Amino acid sequence: MAITKETEIFKVDTNPQTGAISVREDTVIREEDVEISRIPHRHALVPLVSVYDKDSDSWTHTPTDLTNQDSTVQAVAEALWTDEVRDAFRAEMEKQPPI
């Protein structure tokens, strides 16, 4: 009686205007190749990690690290996150009042 645990990308949604990517990744448990459990996990990604430094009154924008993302998610991000999308995201973040 073999029990296996796998992770599957179930769904990837995108917002071309903001560059946001929503990922649903399922953990699937199977016994004898019969699925007995499926647990969804969701996370979101944006093109840049933006941090405001109030001491210098400036923003730092770092490209989002995709190293630990599934290759499908990496491919979607690489296609979606053009220079234009990153520039628009950066501009939108800098419009926000600093926290």
Residue pLDDT, tens place only, 59-84? 999 999 999 999 999 999 999 999 99
pLDDT of residue 1: 74
Residue count of the chain, please give it: 99
- Listing DSSP states for 7-58 in one string gives EEEEEEEEETTTTEEEEEEEEEEEETTEEEEEEEEEEEE-SEEEEEETTTTE
Per-residue pLDDT band at 39 (split at 50, 70, 90): very high
Specify the pTM: 0.86
pLDDT of residue 97: 80
CA gap 97, 21 in Å, rounded: 23
**Averaged pLDDT for residues 14-21:** 94
**Averaged pLDDT for residues 40-49:** 98
Which residue's structure tokens are 């599934």? 70
